[in-house]
Protein backbone atom coordinates (compact mmCIF):
# COMPACT_ATOMS: atom_id res chain seq x y z
CA UNK A 1 0.00 0.00 0.00
CA UNK A 2 1.41 3.38 -0.98
CA UNK A 3 -0.61 5.50 1.47
CA UNK A 4 1.03 5.89 4.86
CA UNK A 5 -0.80 7.82 7.54
CA UNK A 6 1.09 9.97 9.99
CA UNK A 7 -1.46 9.03 12.67
CA UNK A 8 -1.25 5.84 14.70
CA UNK A 9 -4.41 6.79 16.58
CA UNK A 10 -7.48 4.59 16.32
CA UNK A 11 -10.76 6.44 16.40
CA UNK A 12 -14.11 5.78 18.02
CA UNK A 13 -17.04 7.43 16.22
CA UNK A 14 -19.35 9.65 18.28
CA UNK A 15 -22.29 8.44 16.20
CA UNK A 16 -22.77 4.66 15.99
CA UNK A 17 -24.72 5.21 12.75
CA UNK A 18 -21.83 7.13 11.14
CA UNK A 19 -21.55 4.90 8.06
CA UNK A 20 -25.14 5.26 6.90
CA UNK A 21 -25.00 9.02 7.61
CA UNK A 22 -21.80 9.38 5.54
CA UNK A 23 -23.20 7.28 2.69
CA UNK A 24 -26.45 9.28 2.65
CA UNK A 25 -24.48 12.52 2.48
CA UNK A 26 -22.32 11.21 -0.35
CA UNK A 27 -25.44 10.15 -2.28
CA UNK A 28 -26.74 13.74 -2.08
CA UNK A 29 -23.57 15.10 -3.74
CA UNK A 30 -24.59 15.88 -7.30
CA UNK A 31 -20.96 16.68 -8.17
CA UNK A 32 -19.81 13.15 -7.31
CA UNK A 33 -22.71 11.68 -9.31
CA UNK A 34 -21.85 13.90 -12.27
CA UNK A 35 -18.28 12.63 -12.51
CA UNK A 36 -19.18 8.99 -11.77
CA UNK A 37 -17.44 8.68 -8.39
CA UNK A 38 -18.52 6.11 -5.80
CA UNK A 39 -17.96 5.85 -2.08
CA UNK A 40 -16.16 2.51 -1.90
CA UNK A 41 -15.49 2.20 1.83
CA UNK A 42 -16.01 4.00 5.10
CA UNK A 43 -14.48 3.30 8.52
CA UNK A 44 -13.87 5.41 11.63
CA UNK A 45 -11.52 8.17 10.50
CA UNK A 46 -11.29 6.92 6.87
CA UNK A 47 -13.16 7.17 3.58
CA UNK A 48 -12.27 5.89 0.12
CA UNK A 49 -13.72 7.15 -3.16
CA UNK A 50 -13.28 5.41 -6.54
CA UNK A 51 -13.48 7.12 -9.91
CA UNK A 52 -13.22 5.27 -13.23
CA UNK A 53 -11.27 6.97 -16.01
CA UNK A 54 -13.52 9.12 -18.20
CA UNK A 55 -12.08 11.06 -21.13
CA UNK A 56 -14.56 13.89 -20.47
CA UNK A 57 -12.72 14.64 -17.20
CA UNK A 58 -9.26 15.09 -18.70
CA UNK A 59 -7.03 18.01 -19.49
CA UNK A 60 -5.40 18.65 -22.88
CA UNK A 61 -2.88 15.77 -22.57
CA UNK A 62 -5.45 13.13 -21.66
CA UNK A 63 -4.61 13.01 -17.95
CA UNK A 64 -7.36 13.29 -15.36
CA UNK A 65 -7.68 17.01 -14.67
CA UNK A 66 -6.08 18.27 -11.44
CA UNK A 67 -9.39 19.82 -10.46
CA UNK A 68 -11.04 16.40 -10.57
CA UNK A 69 -8.13 14.81 -8.69
CA UNK A 70 -8.46 17.35 -5.87
CA UNK A 71 -12.25 17.07 -5.96
CA UNK A 72 -12.25 13.37 -5.10
CA UNK A 73 -9.52 13.53 -2.45
CA UNK A 74 -11.08 16.62 -0.83
CA UNK A 75 -14.36 14.71 -0.56
CA UNK A 76 -12.57 11.64 0.83
CA UNK A 77 -10.98 13.82 3.52
CA UNK A 78 -14.30 15.49 4.32
CA UNK A 79 -16.08 12.16 4.67
CA UNK A 80 -13.25 10.78 6.81
CA UNK A 81 -13.82 13.75 9.14
CA UNK A 82 -17.60 13.22 9.08
CA UNK A 83 -17.17 9.63 10.32
CA UNK A 84 -15.94 11.03 13.65
CA UNK A 85 -18.35 13.97 13.94
CA UNK A 86 -21.45 13.85 16.11
CA UNK A 87 -24.86 13.17 14.57
CA UNK A 88 -26.67 16.23 13.23
CA UNK A 89 -23.62 18.14 12.00
CA UNK A 90 -22.08 18.67 8.58
CA UNK A 91 -18.53 19.30 7.45
CA UNK A 92 -16.95 21.87 5.18
CA UNK A 93 -13.39 22.17 3.88
CA UNK A 94 -11.70 25.35 5.08
CA UNK A 95 -8.24 24.74 3.62
CA UNK A 96 -6.21 22.23 1.68
CA UNK A 97 -2.84 21.86 0.06
CA UNK A 98 -2.27 19.40 -2.76
CA UNK A 99 0.94 18.04 -4.19
CA UNK A 100 0.85 16.33 -7.58
CA UNK A 101 3.44 13.59 -7.90
CA UNK A 102 2.69 11.96 -11.26
CA UNK A 103 0.40 12.46 -14.26
CA UNK A 104 -3.09 11.17 -13.41
CA UNK A 105 -3.35 8.35 -15.92
CA UNK A 106 -4.94 5.02 -15.18
CA UNK A 107 -8.07 2.91 -15.38
CA UNK A 108 -9.39 3.80 -11.93
CA UNK A 109 -8.50 6.49 -9.42
CA UNK A 110 -8.69 5.76 -5.70
CA UNK A 111 -8.86 8.69 -3.29
CA UNK A 112 -8.31 7.86 0.37
CA UNK A 113 -8.85 10.32 3.20
CA UNK A 114 -7.67 9.64 6.75
CA UNK A 115 -8.08 11.72 9.88
CA UNK A 116 -4.84 12.77 11.50
CA UNK A 117 -6.41 14.75 14.36
CA UNK A 118 -10.12 15.11 15.11
CA UNK A 119 -11.13 18.23 17.01
CA UNK A 120 -14.37 19.75 18.25
CA UNK A 121 -14.34 22.42 15.52
CA UNK A 122 -11.50 21.52 13.14
CA UNK A 123 -10.29 18.15 11.91
CA UNK A 124 -7.00 17.68 10.06
CA UNK A 125 -6.91 15.00 7.37
CA UNK A 126 -4.36 13.49 5.03
CA UNK A 127 -5.40 12.28 1.60
CA UNK A 128 -3.92 10.44 -1.32
CA UNK A 129 -4.97 9.61 -4.87
CA UNK A 130 -3.63 6.50 -6.55
CA UNK A 131 -4.06 5.62 -10.22
CA UNK A 132 -4.69 1.92 -10.79
CA UNK A 133 -3.83 0.17 -14.05
CA UNK A 134 -3.97 -3.59 -14.15
CA UNK A 135 -2.28 -4.71 -10.97
CA UNK A 136 -0.13 -1.63 -10.43
CA UNK A 137 -0.79 1.55 -8.47
CA UNK A 138 0.86 4.95 -8.93
CA UNK A 139 0.68 7.71 -6.32
CA UNK A 140 -0.73 10.71 -8.18
CA UNK A 141 -1.45 13.29 -5.49
CA UNK A 142 -1.22 13.93 -1.75
CA UNK A 143 -3.35 16.34 0.24
CA UNK A 144 -3.39 17.87 3.68
CA UNK A 145 -6.83 19.26 4.50
CA UNK A 146 -8.51 21.10 7.35
CA UNK A 147 -12.20 20.30 7.73
CA UNK A 148 -14.61 22.38 9.83
CA UNK A 149 -17.49 20.85 11.77
CA UNK A 150 -20.66 22.80 10.93
CA UNK A 151 -23.16 22.72 13.79
CA UNK A 152 -26.78 23.69 13.21
CA UNK A 153 -27.74 27.18 14.45
Q: Domains (ranges, CATH) in the chain?
A: 18-150 (3.10.129.10)
CA torsion 117-72-21-124 (nearest 10°) is 10
Q: Taking Cα atoms as reference points, which of 71, 84, 69, 152 lies closest to residue 122? A: 84
Among 88, 96, 37, 92, which Cα is nearest to 70's? Answer: 96
pLDDT at 80: 98
pLDDT reported for residue 2: 45
Ranges of residues in the chain whose predicted pLDDT is under 50: 1-3
pLDDT tens for 43-74 read 999 999 999 999 999 999 999 999 999 999 99
Residue 104 contacts residue 58 (beta carbons within 8 Å): no
d(Cα 36, Cα 90) in Å, to the nearest integer? Answer: 23
Amino acid sequence: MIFMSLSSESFTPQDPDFESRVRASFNRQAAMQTIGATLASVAPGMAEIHLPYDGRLTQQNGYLHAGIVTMIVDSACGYAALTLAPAGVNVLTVEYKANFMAPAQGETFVATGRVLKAGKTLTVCQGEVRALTGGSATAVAAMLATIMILRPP
